[in-house]
């Protein structure tokens, strides 16, 4: 790198001292206020939110005049953050470690937005008249005496301090009034005013790229020295920042030809695999100055369109006079701009857009610059690598420095707000507030996953009030099972009990690998586990539930129990409980019922159509902390039996919940609940009951049409906190389902339609309609532990049956060998 000059940063920094906790006085006498803001969510459910935010910016900036300069900065920095938490078993810990390794590679970025606004008091003649006003109001002088005193102040620099302090107070009041109007007029971008140490930290980070971010102490010197820890060396094309923490190289790419671009055009830079700052500086003009400038330009092009030599030649040749059409067109454009300014009050100013690219080495910097230039070019922008203008270009990215930049474009304010990067992606909370309150300890979010914007997303399913329910909807083959298996595995971070109602062994492998138990109530894959709800009769507190369960078994769409019949059944339950436990069966109970009820119960008795499901002497169903229950045959072929078993299991699970320890209940396919109104109402009841006991139901379905037929689906929607929609290329062809039933917007449906199966998952939070397109990038080893296909099941069976203490590792190694 060709070294031209090494300069201490304090020589360049424009900041002098704080005059209020929120205002900084610069060396040139200007006042500086700093903000950070959230912006509009890039995955907003309604894309018009971004347009609204830009319209608000246009409107609120009308109160700014030539005294105001704004610096808009978007910092694009690598992040290696993750979520904390410990795991109780090796398999879940290994899955988490693999996910953490991917999330902390440095390929994901944190994007932060900041805005600095400077107020530069009038100078020259205007300043002289302000001094006259000061001597008239404060000094009590008459006009001529005030003029003489102001002249003496100017020539002799007399009484400057007294005047400046009073003037600073006056400027502060004016500036604060402007800032109040600004912050109140842009609620969509959610600006937050920075004060004292927060403001110092923001400026320190901008000025010292080679110094890690840290909190800044209160200053004991002037701010230009206090906020400087670096020396800067200017080369032909690069800047070198040197500090006690190391070196950092930077290059600057100026953006030109950027007017009339679509909204958020600069957001494409956020997909670049490089650390950079998008810096927009804008100097506002009042109407008089803007008019004068446009008129000057218009006159110039009108004069330039006339070629005197050509006029003489045309006169001598008796030809018609022809002016320069291009310059005439430019003059017309200036005229149109003047009309918009006069008729519509369109604001104007001078703007500069610079992309500051950072790297640790020169070669890495050159690669990053090439990628940035390529991205800008592909987006239709003009790009200039700063060389002779390198140092002035960097100076002007410092809030408070605008004086050295000459690469400015005269533009309308709406053109700047259109291209300004107002979109952001919030990373999510750093703690699970609900579980932290329940346990009395700090509990992290569930997991951390990438987004489509190359940012990390901390996923926290719990909303205020403890609602952590989840519903996954989408077609088969879109990645539902693997994704749910991963989320349930991550729930071990919360020390959660995990109970899965499985279909076709979709959750069996991760359950066994993590030390859990697998039972099959269908008998399809292993010996059937006998289930007998009447085994609950040992506790009189269960009599009411047993009666309800029997009612659910007997009733259907054409028959409902009368109050008397319900009471008779309750009496029969109490009578049966007085007998020995070997008599607690459905067959025994049927002998105590009236003939009409006994007849309706017949299909559930031994020898009946469904007699093999519940008419047993023993009940081998046991609730454990890590359990997988195979129910696939029930879900697919016997939906009534599935609903009865799930209801009984939910009750048993609820009885084992203490309201303190968190419980996750996964239902791999819950479509059967929607086939019968009574079963659906029971599902709604359990949604409420399980939440009150500090549990969450994570359900999934491929039966979208069945949901569409549910009469009171709105109630369920309100009770489910989280919805995840799987990719579906046909989503736009089903507006009656996605839009009318699920209440999604056109933009959300478009995201579902464009999503990639087995990678993209659209997460929507019901209470806020917050939308985020999550992505997965599971390695082969992670997929081996989360998959459920026949080959994986066969290999898992072999190693599980071996009884070897390291059978889990053997299984994973064989799966990886097959994938190699």
Domain shared by 497 and 595, yes or no? no
CA dist 167 → 31, 143, 172, 807 (Å): 12, 19, 8, 79
Instruction: Determine, yes or no, domain membership for 214.
Output: yes
Per-residue model confidence (pLDDT) at position 124:
42
For position 307, what pLDDT does the model report?
56
Tokens standing for residue 249: 């190289």
315 by Cβ neighbours in 10 Å (0-12 / 13-18 / 19+) ranks as exposed
Tell me the DSSP string of 604-667. GSTTSTTHHHH--S-------SEEEEE-HHHHHH-HHHHHHHHHHHHHHHHHH--SSS-EEEEE
Q: Return the pLDDT at 263.
A: 63
Tell how strand 409-412 and strand 382-385 pair up: unpaired
Pick from 424, 446, 476: which residue ends a domain? 424
Question: Quick one: 403 and 479 in the same domain?
Answer: no
Question: Considering the chain, what percentage of its residues have pLDDT values greater than 90?
Answer: 64
The answer to whether residues 797 and 526 touch, using CB atoms and an 8 Å cutoff, is no
CB 35 within 8 A of CB 113: no
Per-residue pLDDT tens over the stretch 574-593:
999 999 999 999 999 999 99
Please, are residues 663 and 693 in contact by the beta-carbon 8 Å criterion? yes
Residue 584's pLDDT is 96
pLDDT of residue 141 exceeding 70: no
Tens digits of residue pLDDT in 436-447: 999 999 999 999
**Hey, what are 31's tokens?**
């006042």
pLDDT for 144 equals 60
Task: For 63-121, write each residue's pLDDT tens digit.
Answer: 898 899 999 999 999 999 999 999 999 999 999 999 999 999 999 999 999 999 999 88
Range of the domain at 593: 530-612
Same domain, 605 and 627: no
Q: How many CB atoms lie within 10 A of CB 341?
A: 18
Average pLDDT over every residue of 548-560: 90
The verdict on 521 and 661 lying in the same domain is yes
* CA count, 13 A, side-chain hemisphere, 96: 25
Lowest-confidence pick of 51-65, 76-90, 115-129, 663-677: 115-129
Contact between residue 690 and residue 665 where contact means Cβ atoms under 8 Å apart? yes
Nearest one of 627, 449, 586 to 83, comparing CA atoms: 449
Q: Nearest-CA neighbor of 763 among 776, 752, 751, 774? A: 774
Characterize the bridge pairing of strands 497-502 and 663-667. parallel
Encoded tokens for 461: 């399913």
Question: Quick one: 598 and 669 in the same domain?
Answer: no
CA distance 30 to 172: 10
Residue 368's pLDDT is 97
Residue 722 lies in a domain: yes
**Which strands form 626-630's sheet, in the order they lie side by side?**
517-520, 626-630, 497-502, 663-667, 695-701, 470-473, 722-725, 760-765, 770-775
pLDDT the model gives residue 158: 39
Task: For residue 133, tell me if it sits in a domain.
Answer: yes
User: Do both 385 and 523 map to the same domain?
Assistant: no
- Give the Cα separation of 657 and 123 in Å (integer): 73
DSSP 740: I
Handedness of CA 62, 63, 68, 73 (dihedral sign): negative
pLDDT over 60 at 318, yes or no = no
379 vs 775, higher pLDDT? 775
Q: What is the CATH number of the domain that holds 742?
A: 3.40.50.300
Position 126 scores a pLDDT of 44
Same domain for 596 and 673, yes or no, is no
Query: What is the rounded average pLDDT of the residues 283-298?
Result: 74
Whether 241 and 359 have beta carbons less than 8 Å apart is answered as no
Domain identity same for 91 and 216: yes
Whether residues 64 and 207 share a domain: the answer is yes
Distance CA 340, CA 739 (A): 40
| Burial (CB count <10 Å: 0-12, 13-18, 19+), residue 549 | buried
pLDDT higher than 60, residue 4: no
Of the pLDDT bands very low, low, confident and very high (cuts 50, 70, 90), residue 717 is: confident
Residue pair 57/419 in contact (Cβ under 8 Å)? The answer is no
Query: Is 338 part of any domain?
Result: no
Please write the tens of the pLDDT for every residue from 800-810: 999 999 999 99
> How many CB atoms within 10 Å of residue 291?
16
Cβ-based neighbour number of residue 45 at 10 Å: 18
**Is a pLDDT exceeding 70 seen at residue 214?**
yes
Q: In terms of pTM, does the model score above 0.85?
A: yes
Distances (CA, A) of 48 to 17, 44, 263: 41, 9, 11
The DSSP secondary structure of 239-295, one letter per residue, reads: EEEEETTEEEEEEEEEEES-TTPPTTGGGGGGGSSSEEEEEEEEEE--HHHHHHHHH
> 547 and 406 in one domain?
no
- Comparing 452 with 345, which gets the higher pLDDT? 452
Label residue 236 exposed, middle or buried (CB < 10 Å: 0-12, 13-18, 19+): exposed
pLDDT at residue 342, as a whole number: 63
HEC states along 683-706?
HHHHHHHHHHCCEEEEEEECCHHH
> How many Å from the N-terminal Cα to the C-terminal Cα in the chain?
45
Are 715 and 684 in contact by the 8 Å Cβ rule? The answer is yes
Tell which of 736, 756, 775 closes a domain: 775
Q: Are 141 and 135 in contact (CB under 8 A)?
A: yes
> What confidence score (pLDDT) does residue 161 get?
40
- Give the SS3 label for residue 232: strand
Domain boundary among 589, 612, 635: 612
Instruction: Give the per-residue pLDDT at 94.
Output: 97
Section 226-239 average pLDDT = 93
Average pLDDT of the residues in 629-637: 90
Of 198-212, 237-251, 712-726, 769-783, least confident by mean pLDDT is 712-726
| pLDDT(376) > 80 | yes
Whether 132 has a pLDDT exceeding 70, the answer reads no
Q: Which of 169-183, 525-539, 730-744 has the lowest mean pLDDT?
A: 730-744
For the chain, what is the mean pLDDT?
A: 88
CB 628 within 8 A of CB 519: yes
- Angle (nearest 5°) at CA 604 between 602 and 608: 65
State the pairing for strand pair 626-630/517-520: parallel
Residue 187 has pLDDT above 70, yes or no: yes
Asked if residue 186 has pLDDT above 60, the reply is yes
Together in a domain, 504 and 544: no
> Does the pLDDT of residue 197 top 70, yes or no?
yes
Phi, psi for residue 140 in degrees, rounded to 5: 70, 20
**What is the per-residue pLDDT for 146?**
64
337 and 414 Cβ atoms separated by less than 8 Å: no
Confidence of residue 160 (pLDDT cuts 50, 70, 90): very low
Q: Give the number of domains in the chain.
A: 3
Confidence label for 265 from pLDDT (cuts 50, 70 and 90): confident
The pLDDT value recorded for residue 647 is 93
Sequence-distant (6+) residues with CB within 8 A of 92 are 489, 490, 492, 514
The Cα 408–Cα 402 span in angstroms is: 10
Q: Is residue 401 part of a domain?
A: yes
| pLDDT computed for residue 285 by the predictor | 86
pLDDT at 1: 44
Does a structural domain hold residue 584? Answer: yes
Same domain, 29 and 116: yes
Better-scored residue on pLDDT, 679 or 516: 516
In a domain, 525, yes or no: yes
What local confidence, expressed as pLDDT, does residue 15 receive?
Answer: 95
CA 323/CA 302 separation, integer angstroms: 9
In a domain, 807, yes or no: no
Specify the pLDDT at position 244.
94
């Amino acid at each position: 790198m060709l070294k031209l000059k090494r300069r201490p940063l304090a020589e360049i920094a424009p900041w002098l001292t704080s005059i209020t906790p929120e205002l900084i006085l610069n060396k040139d006498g200007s006042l500086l206020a700093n903000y950070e803001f959230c912006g509009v969510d890039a995955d907003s459910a309604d894309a018009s939110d971004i347009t609204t935010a830009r319209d608000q910016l246009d409107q609120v900036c009308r109160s700014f005049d030539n005294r105001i300069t704004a610096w808009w900065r978007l910092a694009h920095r690598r992040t290696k953050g993750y979520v904390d938490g410990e795991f109780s078993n090796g398999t879940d810990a290994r899955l988490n470690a693999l996910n953490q390794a991917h999330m902390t590679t440095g390929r994901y970025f944190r994007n932060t937005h900041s805005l600095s606004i400077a107020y530069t008091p009038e100078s020259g003649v205007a300043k002289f008249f302000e001094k006259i006003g000061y001597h008239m109001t404060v000094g009590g002088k008459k006009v001529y005496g005030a003029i003489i005193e102001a002249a003496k102040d100017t020539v002799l620099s007399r009484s400057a301090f007294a005047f400046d302090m009073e003037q600073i107070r006056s400027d502060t009041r004016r500036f604060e009034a402007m800032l109040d109007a600004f912050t109140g007029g842009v609620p969509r971008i959610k600006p937050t005013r920075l004060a004292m140490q927060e403001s110092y930290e923001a400026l320190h980070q901008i000025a010292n790229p080679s110094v890690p971010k840290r909190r800044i102490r209160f200053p004991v010197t002037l701010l230009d020295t206090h906020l400087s820890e670096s020396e800067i060396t200017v080369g032909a094309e690069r800047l070198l920042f040197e500090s006690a923490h190391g070196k950092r190289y930077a290059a600057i790419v100026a953006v030109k030809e950027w007017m009339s671009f679509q909204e958020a055009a600069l957001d494409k830079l956020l997909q670049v695999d490089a650390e950079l700052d998008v810096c927009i500086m804008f100097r506002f003009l009042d109407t008089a100055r803007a008019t004068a400038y446009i008129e000057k330009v218009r006159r110039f092009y009108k004069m330039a369109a006339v070629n005197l030599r050509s006029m003489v030649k045309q006169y001598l040749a008796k030809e018609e006079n022809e002016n320069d059409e291009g310059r005439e067109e430019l003059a017309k454009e200036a005229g149109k701009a003047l009309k918009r300014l006069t008729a519509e009050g369109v604001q104007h100013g001078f703007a500069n857009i610079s992309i500051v690219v950072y790297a640790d080495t020169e070669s890495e910097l050159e690669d990053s610059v090439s990628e940035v230039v390529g991205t800008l070019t592909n987006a239709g922008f003009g790009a200039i690598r700063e060389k002779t203008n390198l140092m002035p270009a960097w100076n002007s990215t410092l809030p408070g420095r605008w004086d050295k930049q000459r690469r400015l474009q005269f533009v309308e304010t709406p053109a700047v707000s259109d291209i300004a990067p107002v979109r952001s992606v919030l990373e999510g909370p750093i703690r699970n507030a609900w579980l932290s309150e329940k346990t009395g300890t700090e509990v992290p979010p569930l997991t951390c996953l990438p987004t489509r914007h190359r940012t990390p997303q901390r996923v926290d399913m719990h909303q205020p009030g403890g609602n952590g329910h989840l519903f996954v909807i989408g077609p088969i083959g879109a990645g539902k099972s693997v994704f749910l298996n991963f989320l349930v595995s991550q729930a071990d971070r919360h020390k959660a009990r995990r109970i899965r109602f499985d279909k076709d062994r979709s959750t069996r492998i991760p359950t066994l690998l993590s030390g859990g138990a697998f039972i099959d109530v269908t008998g399809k894959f292993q010996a059937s586990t006998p289930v007998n709800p009447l085994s609950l009769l040992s506790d009189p507190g269960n009599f009411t539930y047993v009666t309800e369960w029997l009612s659910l078994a007997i009733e259907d769409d054409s028959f409902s129990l009368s109050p008397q019949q319900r009471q008779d059944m309750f009496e029969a339950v109490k009578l049966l409980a007085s007998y020995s436990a070997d008599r607690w069966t459905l067959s025994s109970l049927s002998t105590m019922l009236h003939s009409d009820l006994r007849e309706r119960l017949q299909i559930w008795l031994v020898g009946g159509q469904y007699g093999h499901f519940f008419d047993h002497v023993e009940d081998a169903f046991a609730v454990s902390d890590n359990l997988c229950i195979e129910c696939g045959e029930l879900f697919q072929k016997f939906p009534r039996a599935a609903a009865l078993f799930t209801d009984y299991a939910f009750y048993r699970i609820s009885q084992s919940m203490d309201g303190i320890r968190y419980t996750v209940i996964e239902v791999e396919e819950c479509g059967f609940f929607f086939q019968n109104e009574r079963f659906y109402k029971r599902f709604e009841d359990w949604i409420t009951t399980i939440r009150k006991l500090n549990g969450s139901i994570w359900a999934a379905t491929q039966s979208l049409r069945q949901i569409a037929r549910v009469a009171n689906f709105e109630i369920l929607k309100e009770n489910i906190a989280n919805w995840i929609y799987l990719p579906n290329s046909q989503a736009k062809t089903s507006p009656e389902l996605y839009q009318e039933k699920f209440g999604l917007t056109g933009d959300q449906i478009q995201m579902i339609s464009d999503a990639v199966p087995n990678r993209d998952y659209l997460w929507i939070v019901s209470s806020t309609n917050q939308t985020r397109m999550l992505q997965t990038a599971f390695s082969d080893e992670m997929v081996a532990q989360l998959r459920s296909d026949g080959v994986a099941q066969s290999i898992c069976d072999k190693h599980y049956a071996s009884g070897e203490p390291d059978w889990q590792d053997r299984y994973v190694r064989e799966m990886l060998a097959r994938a190699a």
